[in-house]
Amino acid sequence: MNCVALLGRLTADPELKETRDSCYTRFTLAVDRQREEGADFISCVAFGKTAELICRYMSKGRQLAVLGRIQTGSYTNQDGQKIYTTDVIVTSMTFCGSGAGQGDRPAERGEARRPAPAPDRTYGGRQDQRQDDQPVSERTQRRHEAERRMNERRRQYAEAPDGFIPERDGFNDLPFT
Protein backbone atom coordinates (compact mmCIF):
# COMPACT_ATOMS: atom_id res chain seq x y z
CA MET A 1 0.00 0.00 0.00
CA ASN A 2 1.38 3.42 -1.00
CA CYS A 3 0.19 5.82 1.74
CA VAL A 4 1.99 8.84 3.20
CA ALA A 5 1.01 11.12 6.11
CA LEU A 6 3.08 14.26 6.73
CA LEU A 7 2.90 17.15 9.17
CA GLY A 8 5.16 20.06 8.39
CA ARG A 9 5.55 23.73 7.59
CA LEU A 10 5.52 25.30 4.14
CA THR A 11 8.95 26.53 3.04
CA ALA A 12 7.53 29.14 0.61
CA ASP A 13 4.22 30.66 -0.44
CA PRO A 14 2.47 28.18 -2.76
CA GLU A 15 1.57 29.32 -6.29
CA LEU A 16 -1.40 28.05 -8.27
CA LYS A 17 -0.55 26.86 -11.78
CA GLU A 18 -3.22 26.41 -14.44
CA THR A 19 -3.40 23.57 -16.93
CA ARG A 20 -5.83 23.13 -19.77
CA ASP A 21 -8.25 21.06 -17.67
CA SER A 22 -7.36 21.77 -14.06
CA CYS A 23 -4.89 23.45 -11.73
CA TYR A 24 -2.10 22.33 -9.44
CA THR A 25 0.47 23.61 -6.99
CA ARG A 26 3.93 22.39 -6.03
CA PHE A 27 5.21 23.08 -2.55
CA THR A 28 7.78 21.81 -0.09
CA LEU A 29 7.03 20.78 3.49
CA ALA A 30 9.72 20.97 6.17
CA VAL A 31 9.00 17.91 8.33
CA ASP A 32 10.77 17.54 11.69
CA ARG A 33 12.53 14.25 12.32
CA GLN A 34 11.17 12.35 15.32
CA ARG A 35 14.27 11.02 17.05
CA GLU A 36 17.03 13.33 15.85
CA GLU A 37 17.76 16.98 15.12
CA GLY A 38 16.88 18.47 11.76
CA ALA A 39 14.13 18.33 9.21
CA ASP A 40 13.42 16.65 5.90
CA PHE A 41 12.21 18.76 2.99
CA ILE A 42 9.50 16.85 1.15
CA SER A 43 8.32 17.88 -2.32
CA CYS A 44 4.51 17.75 -2.65
CA VAL A 45 2.01 18.27 -5.49
CA ALA A 46 -1.72 18.96 -5.07
CA PHE A 47 -4.35 19.17 -7.80
CA GLY A 48 -7.81 20.73 -8.29
CA LYS A 49 -9.76 22.08 -5.31
CA THR A 50 -7.08 20.91 -2.87
CA ALA A 51 -4.51 23.02 -4.72
CA GLU A 52 -6.86 26.02 -4.74
CA LEU A 53 -7.43 25.77 -0.98
CA ILE A 54 -3.73 25.47 -0.21
CA CYS A 55 -2.88 28.50 -2.38
CA ARG A 56 -5.74 30.56 -1.03
CA TYR A 57 -5.23 29.98 2.71
CA MET A 58 -1.65 28.86 3.24
CA SER A 59 1.61 30.81 3.24
CA LYS A 60 5.26 30.31 4.15
CA GLY A 61 5.70 28.99 7.69
CA ARG A 62 2.12 27.74 8.10
CA GLN A 63 1.64 24.20 9.39
CA LEU A 64 -0.10 21.72 7.11
CA ALA A 65 -0.95 18.02 7.41
CA VAL A 66 -1.21 16.09 4.15
CA LEU A 67 -2.20 12.57 3.16
CA GLY A 68 -1.13 11.17 -0.16
CA ARG A 69 1.01 8.72 -2.06
CA ILE A 70 4.62 8.68 -3.20
CA GLN A 71 5.23 8.99 -6.93
CA THR A 72 8.63 8.71 -8.58
CA GLY A 73 9.59 9.93 -12.01
CA SER A 74 12.45 11.14 -14.15
CA TYR A 75 13.24 13.63 -16.87
CA THR A 76 16.25 14.76 -18.87
CA ASN A 77 17.43 18.29 -18.15
CA GLN A 78 18.91 20.77 -20.66
CA ASP A 79 22.42 19.39 -20.08
CA GLY A 80 21.30 15.90 -21.08
CA GLN A 81 21.45 14.51 -17.55
CA LYS A 82 18.69 12.23 -16.33
CA ILE A 83 17.07 13.67 -13.17
CA TYR A 84 15.09 11.43 -10.83
CA THR A 85 12.22 12.89 -8.80
CA THR A 86 10.18 11.78 -5.82
CA ASP A 87 6.98 13.67 -4.93
CA VAL A 88 4.08 13.18 -2.56
CA ILE A 89 0.82 13.45 -4.52
CA VAL A 90 -1.59 15.03 -2.02
CA THR A 91 -5.03 13.40 -1.81
CA SER A 92 -6.26 15.31 1.26
CA MET A 93 -5.00 17.92 3.68
CA THR A 94 -5.79 19.68 6.96
CA PHE A 95 -4.82 23.18 8.07
CA CYS A 96 -3.11 22.73 11.44
CA GLY A 97 -1.82 26.01 12.82
CA SER A 98 -0.29 29.36 12.19
CA GLY A 99 3.25 30.13 11.16
CA ALA A 100 5.91 30.31 13.86
CA GLY A 101 5.60 33.78 15.37
CA GLN A 102 3.51 35.07 12.47
CA GLY A 103 -0.11 36.07 12.02
CA ASP A 104 -2.56 33.57 10.63
CA ARG A 105 -3.14 35.43 7.39
CA PRO A 106 -0.85 37.27 4.97
CA ALA A 107 -2.76 40.51 5.63
CA GLU A 108 -1.83 40.30 9.34
CA ARG A 109 1.84 40.30 8.34
CA GLY A 110 1.40 43.41 6.18
CA GLU A 111 1.25 41.51 2.90
CA ALA A 112 -1.36 41.98 0.21
CA ARG A 113 -4.12 39.38 0.30
CA ARG A 114 -4.41 37.11 -2.71
CA PRO A 115 -7.68 37.58 -4.57
CA ALA A 116 -10.09 34.75 -3.87
CA PRO A 117 -11.32 32.79 -6.89
CA ALA A 118 -14.98 33.24 -7.72
CA PRO A 119 -17.05 30.50 -6.05
CA ASP A 120 -18.49 27.82 -8.29
CA ARG A 121 -22.21 27.96 -7.53
CA THR A 122 -23.36 25.40 -10.10
CA TYR A 123 -23.77 21.70 -9.44
CA GLY A 124 -24.45 19.44 -12.36
CA GLY A 125 -25.44 22.37 -14.59
CA ARG A 126 -28.05 23.81 -12.21
CA GLN A 127 -27.76 26.83 -9.98
CA ASP A 128 -27.26 26.06 -6.29
CA GLN A 129 -30.51 26.78 -4.44
CA ARG A 130 -29.40 25.92 -0.91
CA GLN A 131 -31.16 27.44 2.05
CA ASP A 132 -27.77 28.70 3.35
CA ASP A 133 -27.79 31.39 0.65
CA GLN A 134 -30.44 33.35 2.56
CA PRO A 135 -29.28 36.46 4.39
CA VAL A 136 -28.17 35.72 7.95
CA SER A 137 -30.87 37.95 9.43
CA GLU A 138 -33.63 35.99 7.67
CA ARG A 139 -32.20 32.65 8.86
CA THR A 140 -31.93 34.01 12.39
CA GLN A 141 -35.54 35.19 12.31
CA ARG A 142 -36.73 31.77 11.11
CA ARG A 143 -34.76 30.02 13.85
CA HIS A 144 -36.16 32.32 16.56
CA GLU A 145 -39.71 31.78 15.28
CA ALA A 146 -39.23 27.99 15.31
CA GLU A 147 -37.81 28.13 18.85
CA ARG A 148 -40.77 30.27 19.99
CA ARG A 149 -43.29 27.79 18.55
CA MET A 150 -41.43 24.83 20.03
CA ASN A 151 -41.34 26.47 23.48
CA GLU A 152 -45.09 27.12 23.21
CA ARG A 153 -45.69 23.41 22.45
CA ARG A 154 -43.53 22.40 25.43
CA ARG A 155 -45.50 24.75 27.69
CA GLN A 156 -48.80 23.24 26.46
CA TYR A 157 -47.50 19.73 27.09
CA ALA A 158 -46.28 20.63 30.60
CA GLU A 159 -49.66 22.18 31.51
CA ALA A 160 -51.71 19.27 30.10
CA PRO A 161 -53.34 16.80 32.53
CA ASP A 162 -51.67 13.40 33.00
CA GLY A 163 -52.19 11.03 30.10
CA PHE A 164 -53.25 13.82 27.77
CA ILE A 165 -51.03 14.55 24.77
CA PRO A 166 -51.65 17.93 23.15
CA GLU A 167 -52.51 17.96 19.50
CA ARG A 168 -49.49 16.93 17.46
CA ASP A 169 -50.68 18.60 14.28
CA GLY A 170 -48.60 21.62 13.61
CA PHE A 171 -45.25 20.00 14.39
CA ASN A 172 -44.79 19.45 10.67
CA ASP A 173 -44.74 23.19 10.03
CA LEU A 174 -41.56 23.66 12.09
CA PRO A 175 -38.53 24.24 9.84
CA PHE A 176 -36.09 21.54 10.95
CA THR A 177 -33.49 22.05 8.21
Query: How far apart (Å, rounded) are the C-alpha atoms in residues 12 and 132?
Result: 35
Arithmetic mean of pLDDT over the chain: 77
Give the per-residue pLDDT at 162.
61
41: Cβ contacts below 8 Å, ≥ 6 apart: 11, 28, 29, 30, 31
Residue 105, pLDDT > 50, answer no
CATH of domain 4-118: 2.40.50.140
Residue 20, pLDDT > 50, answer yes
CA proximity to 28, closest of 38, 15, 37, 47: 15
Query: How far apart (Å, rounded) are the C-alpha atoms in residues 137 and 76?
Result: 60
72: Cβ contacts below 8 Å, ≥ 6 apart: 84, 85, 86, 87
CA proximity to 85, closest of 51, 123, 45, 125: 45
Residue 21, pLDDT > 50, answer yes
Asked if 28 and 44 touch (Cβ cutoff 8 Å), the reply is yes
pTM over 0.75: no
Give the per-residue pLDDT at 150.
76
Which of 14-18, 20-24, 127-131 is the least confident region? 127-131
